[in-house]
Amino acid sequence: MRLRKLGLAMAMVLAPAAQADEGMWMPSQLPAIGKSLRAAGFQGNPSDLADLTKAPLSAVVKVGGATGSFVSDDGLVLTNHHVAFGVIQYNSNAQRDLIQNGFVSHARAEELPANPDFRLRVTTGFDKVSDKVLAAAKGKTGRAYFDAVDAISKTLVAECEREPGMRCSVVNMFYGRDFYLVKQLELRDVRLVYAPPRAIGNYGDEVDNFVWPRHAGDFTLLRAYVGPDGKPADYAKDNVPYHPPAHLQVAQEGVREGDFVMLAGYPGITYRHRTAAEFADQVQWRLPTTVQVMQQLQHIIEDTGRDDRQAAIRYASQLQSLKNGIKRFEGELDGLKRSDAVAVRHKDEDAMLAWLATQPQAATLRPQIDEVNQLVASANATRERDLLLSLMQSQTQLMRSAIMLQRLAHERGNPDAHREAGYQVRDEDLMAGTLRQVQRRYDPPIEKRLLTALLTRYQKLPDAQRLPEFDAAFGRTPEALSQKLDQVYGATQLGDETQRLAWLKADPAAVSKSSDALLSLAAQLQPALLRAENERKSREGDLLRLRPAYMDALIAYREKQGRAVYPDANSTLRVSYGKVTPLKARDAVSYEPLTTTAGIVEKNTGAAPFDAPKPLLDAIAKGDYEGYADAKTGTMPVDFLSNLDTTGGNSGSPVLNAKGELVGLNFDSNWEAVSASWMFDPRYKRAIHVDLRYMRWLMDKVYPAPQLLKEMGVPAH
Amino acid sequence: MRLRKLGLAMAMVLAPAAQADEGMWMPSQLPAIGKSLRAAGFQGNPSDLADLTKAPLSAVVKVGGATGSFVSDDGLVLTNHHVAFGVIQYNSNAQRDLIQNGFVSHARAEELPANPDFRLRVTTGFDKVSDKVLAAAKGKTGRAYFDAVDAISKTLVAECEREPGMRCSVVNMFYGRDFYLVKQLELRDVRLVYAPPRAIGNYGDEVDNFVWPRHAGDFTLLRAYVGPDGKPADYAKDNVPYHPPAHLQVAQEGVREGDFVMLAGYPGITYRHRTAAEFADQVQWRLPTTVQVMQQLQHIIEDTGRDDRQAAIRYASQLQSLKNGIKRFEGELDGLKRSDAVAVRHKDEDAMLAWLATQPQAATLRPQIDEVNQLVASANATRERDLLLSLMQSQTQLMRSAIMLQRLAHERGNPDAHREAGYQVRDEDLMAGTLRQVQRRYDPPIEKRLLTALLTRYQKLPDAQRLPEFDAAFGRTPEALSQKLDQVYGATQLGDETQRLAWLKADPAAVSKSSDALLSLAAQLQPALLRAENERKSREGDLLRLRPAYMDALIAYREKQGRAVYPDANSTLRVSYGKVTPLKARDAVSYEPLTTTAGIVEKNTGAAPFDAPKPLLDAIAKGDYEGYADAKTGTMPVDFLSNLDTTGGNSGSPVLNAKGELVGLNFDSNWEAVSASWMFDPRYKRAIHVDLRYMRWLMDKVYPAPQLLKEMGVPAH
């Protein structure tokens, strides 16, 4: 009943101008916001976009954690160069360097098989299973609610995957309000068809990452194959091209500033409908604290590495990853502050609650919303400890190995199907790999210093946050901690790879009773870690049960405001619409929304990452842009900028014009938009796309592949 | 006759639109280009600007190597914070840090005396002396021509300086075509009146140097004082404010994009009328080669400094200066390439010569122009050697000292007045200082490595460029060079400061016959150095004689094109005009021409150089901009951008509106404009100014000085 009422409500509301360009819409929502979509410039029928398992949206496929789309009836798939990079790398060697030189297949027989674990997924089913899931969890709370949802989901997935070639999953929308069973045809024979050289596909590399103006031709063409019977199959010479249920048509025309564009893809995760308290936690505590602790770890690695080159090399990757994380978190924090996100969200929530108080449903919803806030507050009560425990496991090598071995021993007591994810039989190869690579990433003095930093912070926590097992193990003073770590790391044999791998195979009882200093320490800590995990899952179960009330209130409040609500991103197919838009990035700095080939020459230094290949530079010097350049200005476009709503996972998303034709290929967003995972600020949120005129020109004039252009219905000039 | 004819020609020509914003015009040229000036928007009478010794241009004064202007009848002078920085520093100490806190004088008695060597110069005479100078040099060539011009100039200056308080100089326009005697009243009592804190005056510091958009309040107010008799005097308590012959009126209104602006100041040096061959030499050889050699020296210092901290400290300043030079040269090279300067200048010169061939004066001018090209070519024949000799003297410490001591001994054979500039009695203190500071800047292994790098390049030069004395001293092989440097640096006593200073006082004959290894080497090299110097001066004399023919041809050709010609900059007062102009800096990147206080907050990190003072941030938060903000947008301007033609020396130049009122204060140009000393490219050449509304607002609302605003005729609101 509640669901039906809100479904109806949604059909009635329109997105006003202020919200026009925000939104990662479920295709099923598009008919309801059809009037906005048409007002923005869409010329098709919004109802035609409602079913993601039917044309045209069925042409949009999942490629790893990103997106692609079919662009011919013979299974040709367009995605980003960086999304297909593994395929290009897999087919490259010193003799034939496809990364450096690119690849043009001139005939089907020349197309190169992808790495065997590369997958394309075509969504064939998207069914609401809220009734089944909620019925299974009904009356439960906490951990039991969590486990019930988990169990029924596993059952539904198992049933669904009985059909050969299918991969299924249960996803939840609006934080547990709605559940869907997603069914995807998994194509396993994918081949490389066309890739530009690295210096085109990734022109600018890290220097230009997150940067506009951009000049990369970040695209690659693949082809999906199936067995002669039309069913998914592993690579085989006799496989035949897959005929997709739908494909997109590449446009003959290009875009200009202000043009309507829309995009479909698989955005990964956003937090926009989190509560005001969660926004405050993120900005005021989580981001600054995480940055502070990570910087402390960074400095430990850097300081030690300055005098010890061997250690510096071993920790190079961890250091890089810390620095990337710090940069990204700082960017998110800057952005959220620039957008005054905490105050804006708080004001919005206050207004929602004030309005709710005047409504009949307040009696049901308000107590649940209050419970959500209590749960968030209870999580905050141990947030320092939880952050430290998490870093203790992600930023160490030997300690993490010991904890993993003890947890595995613990899980082995359960039937495989009931074990914690990551500790099932099928995960053992991965665990062995993790234990092996410790050898190249571990330096005892650095690990001890990292642990000292984290555990010193831990020792200073108030009593309520500390765990008796940790206090017993590490003591309460710096001296006790130092002595313990020296003793454990001095005595443990886990530094030896053979030893570590032997413990992976060992009897669970032997592991848990091991006399190795570090394994024994991990065994001592394990009850505390399991208790903390159980608390978290119990809270997550309750949040899954209660957040729908918050979402119900928000959706009803937005309805009153005349606005529709999209669910936060969760790696399911979404559609966003907007327009080709410039960016006023800073005081007196404006970026135009289209770049041109002149900018490639401007940036070119001849050295990577600005080392455009000679054939490209020659073609630009020649200026043969007939049929591709902007008719008015004569300039040849490269990339363009829009205000489309995207996040990680939208890489490779097709960008369509008002007629639904393919005009662009999404590949990045701007630095100012890093905070958009929490808040969409229309002043700064932009998405960066390859202009398909650039792709077509490259395939026509620079690295010709006329047969592919013909296959896509846009023949060479 | 020739002069009069061309003077007439200039009165008839107009600057067409294409050239409208290029030009550092002598004030006397302004009536002739008056129609262009008015067409550009100037509302006054161009004839009123013709005499730089009369109002209003007599309000523009020379401040050190830069510019300032009188802004009140009581001698108040407006210039840049960076131009007056020495004055601020001189009055700062740990107890009263004017650099950090700024300075506001509330009464005349509080005004602080500048460092005693600080000078303001008011131009009172600017008389053409071409007849006298050219008559003195007539019939001479080469070194004799050079010496004759030098001698008559010294005579004219000595006569002029007989009047107390005057500084005089002879300047040449159009490369020896015209000569002027400049007479300047030198004010020696200058006081600090108002300076913003460093974090306003130099907001952004090195990070923002050469950068637009900019947010610095780079201004300072000084006051000139004279003796009670109205004559220039050293600082004395009883001195009285100087009443300038004219002062500028600060405008009530501000500027917008597209508004007419003009600027007067003392640009230092430009090369725009150099020959096509000189452009080619600069771009194709001089800049890239100099960068290459300087980078080699940079790497030697860096590599040695990595393992030797003491050496690194000693060479920190030289290293910084090398890096700055490399950056600036690379910027100039990039710019000249971007503007295709060599081809553009070549095409222009070819067209000029083709046109000249059809004119009667070709018979006189063309042979002289050919001689100019031969002289340039002859200089190019030894350019590698000359560059290496010059770096050998500028980039070494002990070698340079030895060469200097030998040259001094040599010059001491002449009467003081005839000695080479820099080696006269009055220069001896400076030389002693140079010899002293060697102690803090010298490291034997680094100096030997730098010399090895330079002399190894020297050894590889073709025979025609090498000098017998150098070959004899350093041999022809790496081994001989290495052995010689080891021997000389092992044996010399010049590393000892007492020894160096003793040689400065020693008898010339004793110096030239010294048995010190390095002094003896310098004595051996001296004849070669003197010969090379004589060749250069002889060539310079001939160029001074012959370039006027090239300029005559160019001026006549430009007349035919309908364009006037300004002389290359030479530190004399020039006027340029143009408009407030945005900048399209790169593909898809546009900069608006006005920045706002919002940008200060955006850039602010709280740490230098982006650490705006609290009173400023508070005032911005308060937003009390009444009477200062842009009426239409409500934004408060900080700096603005114009296409005015400027170069080094224009710092502190007043920027005037169409009515001749003061609207801005020039303080920098953009990075893209570094190459403008050779070629003005209207796409990229911009000048950066403080918007005087920002200065007035700071002086009204943030660090109030109402009496100064009243004195300038723009009272506080």
Tell which CATH classification among 3.30.420.40, 3.40.50.1400, 2.40.10.120, 2.60.120.1440 matches the domain B1-119+188-269+570-717: 2.40.10.120
Residue A221 C-alpha from the chain's centroid: 22
SS3 B507: coil
Phi and psi angles of residue A686, each rounded to the nearest 5 degrees, phi first: -135, 155
Integer Rg of chain A from CA: 27
Closest C-alpha to A82, from A60, A98, A66: A66
Q: Is residue B2 over pLDDT 80?
A: no
Q: How many residues does chain B have?
A: 717
pLDDT value for A416: 86
**Integer Cα distance of B491 and A510 in angstroms:** 76
pLDDT in tens, B262-272: 999 999 999 99
Report the residue of A334, A587, A633 to disrupt the B interface, i.e. the one with the largest count of B CBs within 10 Å: A587
> B586: which residues sit within 8 A by CB, 6+ positions away?
A213, A599, A602
B591 touches chain A (CB under 8 A): yes
Report the residue of B306, B583, B587 to disrupt the A interface, i.e. the one with the largest count of A CBs within 10 Å: B587
Residue type, A43: Q
Q: Is residue B1 over pLDDT 50?
A: no
Selecting among B189, B218, B443, B645, the annotated active-site residue is B218
- Chain B's closest residue to A582, CA to CA, is B588
What is the mean predicted confidence (pLDDT) over A512-539? 97
B213 touches chain A (CB under 8 A): yes
Q: Which residues of B touch A587 (CB under 8 A)?
A: 213, 215, 595-596, 598-599, 602
Alpha carbon separation from B207 to A37, B204, B608, B668 (Å, rounded): 45, 6, 10, 13
**Integer Cα distance of A456 and A329 in angstroms:** 23
Q: How far is A427 from chain B (nearest CA, A)?
A: 47
DSSP string, A641-678: EE-----TT-TT-EEE-TTS-EEEEEEEE-GGGGGGGT
pLDDT value for A172: 95
pLDDT value for B309: 83
Residue type, A265: G
What is the mean predicted confidence (pLDDT) over B201-225? 95
* Percentage with pLDDT > 90 across chain B: 86
B367: its two tokens: 């042979």
Q: Which residues of B touch A590 (CB under 8 A)?
A: 589-592
Q: Judge whether B273 counts as a catalytic residue.
A: no
Q: Which residue would you say has higher pLDDT here, A94 or A574?
A: A574
Closest C-alpha to A392, from A457, A445, A436: A457
* Percentage with pLDDT > 70 across chain A: 97
Q: Is residue B7 over pLDDT 50?
A: no
pLDDT value for B632: 81
pLDDT value for A316: 86
pLDDT in tens, B627-684: 999 888 889 999 999 999 999 999 999 999 999 999 999 999 998 899 999 999 999 9
Strands (E) across A509-658 are located at 574-579, 583-586, 589-591, 594-596, 637-642, 654-656
Burial class, B297, CB count within 10 angstroms (exposed 0-12 / middle 13-18 / buried 19+): buried
Are B589 and A213 in contact (CB < 8 Å)? yes
**Integer Cα distance of A551 and A175 in angstroms:** 8
pLDDT value for B5: 34
Q: Is residue A329 over pLDDT 80?
A: yes
Q: Is residue A9 over pLDDT 80?
A: no
Burial class, B431, CB count within 10 angstroms (exposed 0-12 / middle 13-18 / buried 19+): middle
Nearest to B599 among A215, A588, A590 (CB): A588
Question: Do A114 and A222 contact (CB within 8 A), yes or no?
Answer: yes
**Integer Cα distance of B616 and B200 in angstroms:** 8
Q: How confident is the model at residue B425 (pLDDT cuts 50, 70, 90)?
A: confident
Residue type, A587: D
Q: Is residue A11 over pLDDT 70?
A: no
What is the mean predicted confidence (pLDDT) over A448-458? 98
Q: Is residue B44 over pLDDT 90?
A: yes
A215 touches chain B (CB under 8 A): yes
pLDDT value for A93: 87
Question: Do B480 and B474 contact (CB within 8 A), yes or no?
Answer: yes
Sheet holding B687-691, edge to edge: B574-579, B260-265, B654-656, B662-669, B687-691, B637-642, B594-596
pLDDT in tens, A152-195: 999 999 999 999 999 999 999 999 999 999 999 999 999 999 99
Q: How far is A215 from chain B (nearest CA, A)?
A: 10
B65: its two tokens: 């190597």
Closest C-alpha to B88, from B110, B103, B70: B103
Q: Is residue A313 over pLDDT 90?
A: no
What is the mean predicted confidence (pLDDT) over B324-333? 91
**Integer Cα distance of A517 and B373 in angstroms:** 85
Burial class, A645, CB count within 10 angstroms (exposed 0-12 / middle 13-18 / buried 19+): buried
Question: Do A220 and A201 contact (CB within 8 A), yes or no?
Answer: yes
pLDDT in tens, A337-396: 999 999 999 999 999 999 999 999 999 999 999 999 999 999 999 999 999 999 999 999
**Integer Cα distance of B167 and B123 in angstroms:** 9
Q: Is residue B12 over pLDDT 60?
A: no
Q: Is residue A504 over pLDDT 80?
A: yes
Nearest to B587 among A586, A593, A595 (CB): A595
Q: How far is A468 from chain B (nearest CA, A)?
A: 42
B188: its two tokens: 């020696």
Residue positions of A annotated with a catalytic role: 82, 218, 651
pLDDT value for A488: 98
Q: Which residues of A touch B213 (CB under 8 A)?
A: 586-589
Q: How many residues does chain A have?
A: 717
Closest C-alpha to B415, from B425, B429, B405: B425
pLDDT in tens, A211-245: 999 999 999 999 999 999 999 999 999 999 999 99
B239 touches chain A (CB under 8 A): no
- Chain A's closest residue to B592, CA to CA, is A588
A596 touches chain B (CB under 8 A): yes
Nearest to A596 among B215, B587, B591 (CB): B587
Q: How far is A691 from chain B (nearest CA, A)?
A: 14
Q: Is residue B522 over pLDDT 80?
A: yes
**Integer Cα distance of A466 and A463 in angstroms:** 5
A125: its two tokens: 């089913």
Q: Is residue A16 over pLDDT 90?
A: no
Q: How far is A680 from chain B (nearest CA, A)?
A: 19
pLDDT value for A324: 85
Are A586 and B592 in contact (CB < 8 Å)? no
Question: Do A185 and A120 contact (CB within 8 A), yes or no?
Answer: no
Domain boundaries along the sequence of chain B: 1-119+188-269+570-717, 276-548
